Every structure is written in C-alpha cells, then in structure tokens.
C-alpha cells in the first residue's frame, strides 16, 4: 500500500526470530562446541530439541543447504540477517543419514514452515550432541542490535527467541 502511495516500500527495521524447533532455549555460550560457544560464527542462541521438525525461524529466502550432510541451512531475512540453523554437533559425519530436506536453495519460506526433518534419536546416537545453534552469521557487521529472550521451553514456529533491530 505504501509503495502505491509513495512510490517505495517501507523498509524493515526490526524482526522477531522464532524457535526453529520445540525444546529448551539455552545460551550460545553453553553449546558444547567452541566454534559456537565463543561466537566465532556469530551471535546467537541454541535450542536443545525435543523433536526433529526444524522450521524456518523467520520469513526469508533459503540461501544455504548443506548438500550432502543436510545438517544445516541458512536463511536471509527481510532485515538482511543471514541466519544459520545447525542441527546437532558433529552431524556432518552422518553424511545426510537421518535428515530429510523439505525445501531447496532459493525457496522463499515463512516463519514456522518445516525445512528439515531430523531423526533426533539417531543424532543422539551418532553425533556429539543434538543441540541446535541458531546463529546470525553476519552479526559481526555491527548493523544489528539484539534482544535475547528468556531461557526455557520454546515451541517451533511460535516462541520468539530473539529480536533484531537495525542500528
């Protein structure tokens, strides 16, 4: 509507990011992997999942899917955040076993839309951890400020896990 009135679209300046999986929200610092815990990949949080239905945490475009291992995906939001959802730790070694990708590169998705089905029991058996880090990989640009949600139980596609605003 604004585009019709003023000839340009309203610019997005803030977003709410929802949990990509049902489980327990934990601090990124508590992820048992230094790459995530020391924020080498970027700012974020993590979820200890209770099931394996992994959904889009925000409306956006799928910009990355781990081809052979299927253990992670990246999504670019309207705000410009590049969010990595990494299912489990050391899951690359599973070579895609236990993962079913439901979207393809370039797909436009809505928050809450299923992206990957993961066999959490198999991941618990074969990988280092089932924890799912959710990281803003371009957070080091300094373009965003984050408000982190309270730790505790979260529901996939519903519970806001953090909010981001442009500076």
- Ranges of beta strands (E only) in the chain are 14-18, 23-27, 43-49, 53-55, 60-65, 72-77, 82-86, 99-101, 108-109, 114-118, 132-136, 144-148, 152-154, 160-166
Instruction: Check 65, 86, 99, 127 and give the catalytic one.
Output: 86
| Residue 86 falls in the annotated catalytic set | yes
Strand order across the 114-118 sheet: 53-55, 114-118, 99-101
Bridge partners, residue 53, by sequence = 117
Distance CA 87, CA 74 (A): 11
Residues with catalytic roles: 86
């Amino acid at each position: 509507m604004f585009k019709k009135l003023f000839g340009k679209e309203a610019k997005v300046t803030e977003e709410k990011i929802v949990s990509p999986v049902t489980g327990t929200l934990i601090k990124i610092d508590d992820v048992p992997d230094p790459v995530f815990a020391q924020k080498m990949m970027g700012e974020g949080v993590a979820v200890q999942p209770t099931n394996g239905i992994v959904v889009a945490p925000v409306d956006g475009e799928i910009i990355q899917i781990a081809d052979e291992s299927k253990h992670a995906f990246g999504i670019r939001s309207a705000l410009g955040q590049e969010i990595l959802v990494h299912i489990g730790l050391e899951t690359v070694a599973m070579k895609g076993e236990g993962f079913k990708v439901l979207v393809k590169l370039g797909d436009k998705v809505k928050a809450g839309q299923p992206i990957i089905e993961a066999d959490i029991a198999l991941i618990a058996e074969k990988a280092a951890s089932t924890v799912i880090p959710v990281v803003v990989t371009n957070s080091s640009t300094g373009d965003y400020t984050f408000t982190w949600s309270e730790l505790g139980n979260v529901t996939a596609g519903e519970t806001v896990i953090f909010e981001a605003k442009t500076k």
